Amino acid sequence: MIDKRKPTLKLENLCVQYSVKGEKRQILHGVNIEIAPGEAYGIVGESGCGKSTAAYAVLRYLPRNGSVNQGRILINGQDLLGLGKAQLRELRRTSVAMVYQDPGRALNPTIRVGLQIEEVFELARIPKSEWAHRTEEVLRRVRISDPQQVMERYPHQLSGGMQQRVAIAMALASMPTLLVLDEPTTGLDATVEADILDLILQLRRDSSTSILFISHNLAVIAKMCDRVGVLYAGRLVEEGRTGDVFNSPRHPYTVGLLRCLPQRGRSKNVAPLTTIPGVLPPAGAVIPGCVFSPRCAVADEICRTIEPDIADLGNRLCKCHYPERASIMAVVEPLPPIQYRSSYDPDPALEIRHLNMTYGAETIKFKALHDVSLTLGRGETLGLVGESGSGKTTLARNILGIVKPDAGSSIRLDGKQAAAELAGRTREQVKALQIVFQNPDSALNRSHTVRHMINRTIAKLTNISKRDRERRVHELTRAVKLSERYLDARPSQLSGGLKQRVAIARAFSGDPRIVVCDEPTSALDVSVQAAILNLLVELQNSKQVSFIFISHDLGVVRYLSDRIAVLYLGRVMEIGPAEDVFSGPHHPYTEALLSSVPSIDGKHPERVKLDGEVPSALKPPSGCVFHTRCSRKLGSICENTAPDLVALGNLHAIRCHIPAEQLPRSRGPG
Amino acid sequence: MGTDRPYLFQYGDWISGFLAGDLGLSYAYRAPVSEFLATALLNSLKLSLVAFLMVVPLGILVGVIAALQRDRAIDRVISVVGLSASIVPEFVSGIILILIFGVSLRWFPISATWPTGAGFFTQIYYLILPSVPLVLILFGYIARMTRAGMIEALDAEYTRTAILKGLSYPQVIWRHVLRNALLPTISVIATQTVYLIGGLVVIEILFHYQGIGSLIFTAAQKRDFPMLQAGVMVVGALFVATTLLADLIYAALNPRIRLSSQ
């Protein structure tokens, strides 16, 4: 049935529109994509550019108000739009399968995972006697070692990584010719992400399934896909082989996306991140000429009046009047360098000594933090990294006084002992410690205006008179580069980046000494992320505030941090200046974390794999807690004796039995 | 009878007697309370069971239909009718029903008390008209709750997964939506069943039915304290038992609760 010459998927001039309150909004504008059998094609772009709409259109699953108003979708040569209901179901059963962003929600919480997979075999009309056996087989294919046990589980009993394996197994069970992956690793830990990506790569080698891979993460696409299409405002602006597009982009938008990423070896002390000015036009907006021209650095009058065609440049397609300008953009537009301090005041703003934190009662004890000692200098940024469950957030909560650490723990703020609980702290201490959360949506009260939220925080934290408060609100909004016209807006009227600016303004309203940033940019697009990171650096320099920066994105942590602490099962495994931690010698766990990050340049060093999942903190392993997953375990000493944090000089310390001089491997570390 | 002792002691005596099965003597009838209570309780349970069996399937069915026809005419009609019905007190709807179906049309008897020796179906026949006011009050709530649960489940990502697997629409609803949708409905049904017991007082008086409601009412009128106390206590115990049962069913259907201790 599969014709080798026929593309598995062909989108011909695909146009999709949504009707909102009777008004038609065009989401996709004539997108042309072809995916050959066995090929992996990636679509990248900022949120709202139409990536997901394209993905769901391929399964003809659009929201009720969405419709394809022009063009064709061909799967194995079959026109999807002409199919009746029964034929469409048949196609979904046999030819196309999807893997979703959030596996915890994509699996039915009340049905055992085994039954959910068996359903696929039932739909394929395979005799019932084979279902269980085949389910086992497909779970083994996604490298689940004890399929029988997993089949009996409910989704909530599995970790995020396992859930995604199950979801992939479910998609593979029907042996589809096309697999659509919609941000399959977004929200997973870097190490789990690396596992899942390796799994998909391996599955690709074993089968001729074509892949449509949707992601906002350029490095993931670079690792996974043969070809990539860059989508902007519902239009394909550049398309070509992944290496070509990412190494020598020809569309200014692609260049912009790539330059927003914190590059290896670049830190806040060198230069701010480049951002793309402006925002994505709202769906349905009519822009004369090239749709990117309002944000483009090299656009001229022609760009603003005439829409460019998508042109064949030999090794790629590019929708730009001046593709040659993009290649020189990097030198054309240098931002004025801002002088950053390269050193920080070593006089500590925060001193944590022997912090232990135990959750639970006598019977079930859960040690979330184990003897953590840290200092944070004035104006310094300390990055906290580690997989989920490593204790990053618990540590932040302890510092903020939201949860109470065990007796004997000491937290000193500006040289003064701070009470363990918020209620016991002085107003000055409460003021001094603020937080910026990951998700500004849920951190801001939907029914309050921006002005009200900031004003209220100022009133709560300071003694400023009512009239001066208003002035302070304006100062703060200026400081976070939020236009004053948003002061009377409510969160629902703001984009993600603007909301995060409000949250930052609020955190800074009481002149804090330390701000905890808990994944502040994880929910944001790369260009917005770059702007927020630049803002944080500027605020730090002007206000001498210290940051505790939690993120799973190691590139971001490296860019922003002066020092980095690596946590594993509530213990500091390594701590040191950012560059030392990244360049090594490093702890085997740090090494594994670093090697799991996909890189944009396509050079992927041999990954140091971690065996299995993070052990339960209820029963931490004996000796060195990392020994169960360590690739460089020495022997019984690791199982029996907990190593100390050994200083290597220059503030760098590692908790490992392997002597520091033997830690570096032959391969050049990152 | 010990009425000269402090109230606290009297109450203590009564409680210990109650736990031992001795409910005391009725002032009005000079006979053990338990004899009256047992028959009354049985009668009331029959009535509420008939009402329950009518309202739960009806409420769920209507709620499911409303959710599947979301925002269309049928959905609106169901919402309006359901909520309107639930605000009409049972003594109003009961009288209207008696006038229409009992007096004018003569389809149903106007009294719920069946002739002695009546068979199973005759008993049910006598209980249908008294059940209707209760059904009218409850079905709006149950339908509304079912609708909300259904809509949440229909919009859930696992439902999308099921559709994109290629399951047919009825299969998606039966296998993936209903179970998740009905979880919140169960707790509503439980709290409303409790109301069912309370609502019986008016219905039983109106339809001349010897149930726990009319027993309590008469006892209060006649100042028959032992009878009143025992009646209220039994109703209270039923409240607790139903709620517990609902929690157990909820946990049994929801693996996230059932398996949380593992």
Cβ distance A310 to A236 under 8 Å? yes
- Between B164, B166, B259, which is nearest A154 by CB? B259
Q: How far is A14 from chain B (nearest CA, A)?
A: 21
Mean pLDDT: which of A230-244, A264-278, A418-432, B22-36 is highest?
A230-244
A35 within domain boundaries: no
Tell me which chain B residues have a C-beta less than 8 angstroms from the C-beta of A90.
Answer: 166
Q: Which of A577, A620, A596 is nearest to A391 (CA)?
A: A620
A470/A358 same-domain check:
yes
Maximal C-alpha separation, chain A: 77
Residue after which a domain boundary falls, among A539, A561, A583: A561
Nearest Cα residue in chain B from A94: B166
Per-residue pLDDT of B131-167, as tens digits, reads: 899 889 888 889 999 999 999 999 999 999 999 999 9
What does the alpha-carbon distance between residue A26 and residue A44 come to, in Å, rounded to a whole number? 19
Residue type, B37: L
What does the alpha-carbon distance between residue A144 and residue A169 come to, in Å, rounded to a whole number? 10
Range name among A197-201, A300-304, B249-253 with the lowest pLDDT average: B249-253
What does the alpha-carbon distance between residue A372 and residue A176 come to, in Å, rounded to a whole number? 49
What is the pLDDT confidence band of residue A338, given thresholds at 50, 70 and 90? very low
How does strand A178-182 pair with strand A96-99?
A: parallel
Cβ–Cβ of B175/A111 closer than 8 Å?
A: yes
List Cβ neighbours of A649 (8 Å cut-off, separation of 6 or more).
none
A350/A276 same-domain check:
no
Cβ–Cβ of B165/A61 closer than 8 Å?
A: no
Tell me which chain A residues have a C-beta less than 8 angstroms from the C-beta of B167.
Answer: 89, 119, 123
Place of tokens 């390269």: A342
A366/A482 same-domain check:
yes
Tell me which chain B residues have a C-beta less than 8 angstroms from the C-beta of A170.
Answer: 161, 165
CATH number at residue A470: 3.40.50.300
* Helix (H) / strand (E) containing A17: strand A9-20
What does the alpha-carbon distance between residue B14 and residue A175 come to, in Å, rounded to a whole number? 72
What is the pLDDT confidence band of residue A455, given thresholds at 50, 70 and 90? very high
What does the alpha-carbon distance between residue A386 and residue A550 come to, in Å, rounded to a whole number? 9
DSSP characters for A206-225? HS--EEEEE-S-HHHHHHH-
Nearest Cα residue in chain A from B157: A106
pLDDT of residue A279: 79
A78 within domain boundaries: no
Report the percent of chain A where pLDDT is more than 70. Answer: 94
Per-residue pLDDT of A459-482, as tens digits, reads: 988 888 888 899 999 989 888 888
List Cβ neighbours of A86 (8 Å cut-off, separation of 6 or more).
none
Q: Count how many domains chain A has.
A: 4
Average pLDDT over residues A612-636: 84
List Cβ neighbours of A508 (8 Å cut-off, separation of 6 or more).
A434, A476, A479, A480, A515, A539, A543, A545
Average pLDDT over residues B71-90: 89
Cβ–Cβ of B161/A107 closer than 8 Å?
A: yes
Top pLDDT among A97 and A287 is at A97
Cβ–Cβ of A100/B254 closer than 8 Å?
A: no
**What phi, psi does A153 have (nearest 5°)?**
-85, 160
pLDDT of residue A493: 84
Cβ distance A75 to A83 under 8 Å? no
Per-residue pLDDT of B232-252, as tens digits, reads: 888 888 888 888 888 888 888
Place of tokens 């360098």: A337
Q: How far is B250 from chain A (nearest CA, A)?
A: 12
How does strand A66-75 pair with strand A433-436?
A: unpaired
Residue B17 pLDDT greater than 90, yes or no: no
Cβ–Cβ of B165/A119 closer than 8 Å?
A: yes
What is the pLDDT confidence band of residue A20, given thresholds at 50, 70 and 90? confident
List Cβ neighbours of B74 (8 Å cut-off, separation of 6 or more).
B65, B66
* Helix (H) / strand (E) containing A96: strand A96-99
List Cβ neighbours of A657 (8 Å cut-off, separation of 6 or more).
A624, A634, A637, A638, A641, A643
**What phi, psi does A217 have (nearest 5°)?**
-90, 110
Q: How far is B255 from chain A (nearest CA, A)?
A: 6
Strand partners, A172: none
Top pLDDT among A331 and B169 is at B169
* Helix (H) / strand (E) containing A161: helix A160-173
Q: A-B interface: how many C-beta pairs under 8 angstroms?
A: 70
Cα separations (Å) of A531 from A219, A297, A557, B86? 19, 16, 15, 55
Mean pLDDT: which of A270-279, A311-320, A568-577 is highest?
A568-577
pLDDT of residue A130: 93
Strand partners, A19: A24
Cβ distance A219 to A600 under 8 Å? yes
A476/A546 same-domain check:
yes
What does the alpha-carbon distance between residue A523 and residue A535 come to, in Å, rounded to a whole number? 16
Residue type, B115: P
Cβ–Cβ of A110/B167 closer than 8 Å?
A: no
Cβ–Cβ of A106/B160 closer than 8 Å?
A: yes
Q: For chain A, how many residues are written?
A: 670
Residue after which a domain boundary falls, among A125, A148, A171: A171
What does the alpha-carbon distance between residue A591 and residue A584 come to, in Å, rounded to a whole number? 8
Residue type, A204: R
Cβ–Cβ of A170/B255 closer than 8 Å?
A: no
Top pLDDT among B172 and A611 is at B172
pLDDT of residue A336: 45
Buried residues in B40-66 as b, exposed as e (16+ CB within 10 A): bbebbbbbbebbbebbbeebbebbbbb
Query: Residue A227 has which token pair?
Result: 């070809």
- Distance in Å from the first CA to the final CA of chain B: 53
Q: What is the rounded average pLDDT for all residues in chain A?
A: 86
Cβ–Cβ of B162/A108 closer than 8 Å?
A: yes
Cβ distance A587 to A573 under 8 Å? yes
A428/A491 same-domain check:
yes
Q: Which of A548, A571, A550, A551 is nearest to A367 (CA)?
A: A571
Alpha helices in A439-551 (DSSP H): 440-443, 450-461, 466-479, 496-507, 526-543
A500/A411 same-domain check:
yes
Q: What are the structural domain ranges in chain B?
A: 53-258
Q: How far is B169 from chain A (nearest CA, A)?
A: 10
Structural domain of A328? 250-332
Cβ–Cβ of B165/A93 closer than 8 Å?
A: yes
Nearest Cα residue in chain B from A60: B164
Average pLDDT over residues A584-605: 81
Q: How far is B162 from chain A (nearest CA, A)?
A: 9
A279/A351 same-domain check:
no
Q: What is the pTM of this model?
A: 0.83
* Helix%, strand%, coil% for chain B, nearest 5: 80, 0, 20
Cβ–Cβ of B259/A119 closer than 8 Å?
A: no
Residue after which a domain boundary falls, among A523, A542, A561: A561
Nearest Cα residue in chain A from B168: A89
Residue A340 pLDDT greater than 70, yes or no: no
A160/A308 same-domain check:
no
DSSP annotation of A322 reads -
Query: Residue B84 has which token pair?
Result: 């309107």
Cβ distance A559 to A540 under 8 Å? no
Average pLDDT over residues A655-669: 71
Cβ distance A652 to A586 under 8 Å? no
Tell me which chain A residues have a C-beta less than 8 angstroms from the C-beta of B156.
Answer: 105
CB atoms within 10 A of CB B104: 9
Residues in chain B whose beta carbon is closer than 8 A to a beta carbon of chain A? 156-158, 160-168, 175-176, 179-180, 183, 253-256, 259, 262
What does the alpha-carbon distance between residue B249 and residue B241 come to, in Å, rounded to a whole number? 12
Q: Which of A331, A259, A327, A319 is nearest to A293 (CA)?
A: A319
In a mutational test of the B interface, the residue from A89, A90, A618 whose CB has the highest number of chain B CBs within 10 Å is A89
- Between A89, A92, A110, which is nearest B179 by CB? A110
What does the alpha-carbon distance between residue B107 and residue B101 come to, in Å, rounded to a whole number? 5
Cβ–Cβ of B156/A105 closer than 8 Å?
A: yes
Cα separations (Å) of B178 from A103, B15, B64? 21, 44, 9
Q: Give residue A15's region: left, alpha or beta (phi > 0; psi -120 to 50).
A: beta
Top pLDDT among A85 and A664 is at A85
Q: How far is A157 from chain B (nearest CA, A)?
A: 8
Cis peptide before A577 (omega within 30 of 0): no
Q: Which long-range contacts (CB under 8 A, 24 or more apart) does A155-160 make?
A: A155/A103, A155/A104, A155/A107, A155/A108, A155/A109, A155/A113, A156/A104, A156/A109, A156/B255, A156/B256, A157/B259, A157/B262, A158/A113, A159/A192, A159/A613, A160/A103, A160/A104, A160/A187, A160/A188, A160/A189, A160/A192, A160/A388
What does the alpha-carbon distance between residue A557 and residue B148 come to, in Å, rounded to a whole number? 43
A180 within domain boundaries: no
Strand partners, A213: A42, A181
Cβ distance B164 to A94 under 8 Å? no
A522/A576 same-domain check:
no
Q: For chain B, how many residues are written?
A: 262
pLDDT of residue A667: 44
Tell me which chain A residues have a C-beta less than 8 angstroms from the C-beta of B168.
Answer: 89
Cβ distance A324 to A317 under 8 Å? no
In a mutational test of the B interface, the residue from A110, A126, A164, A174 whose CB has the highest number of chain B CBs within 10 Å is A110
A222 within domain boundaries: no
In a mutational test of the B interface, the residue from A96, A108, A125, A166 whose CB has the highest number of chain B CBs within 10 Å is A108
Tell me which chain A residues have a C-beta less than 8 angstroms from the C-beta of B162.
Answer: 108
Tell me which chain A residues have a C-beta less than 8 angstroms from the C-beta of B259.
Answer: 154, 157
pLDDT of residue A123: 92
A555/A575 same-domain check:
no
pLDDT of residue A586: 86
Question: Is the domain B53-258 a CATH 1.10.1760.20 member?
Answer: no
Strand partners, A99: A181
Q: Which of A343, A411, A416, A353 is nearest to A378 (CA)?
A: A343
Residue type, A201: L
Cβ–Cβ of B255/A154 closer than 8 Å?
A: yes
CB atoms within 10 A of CB B28: 16
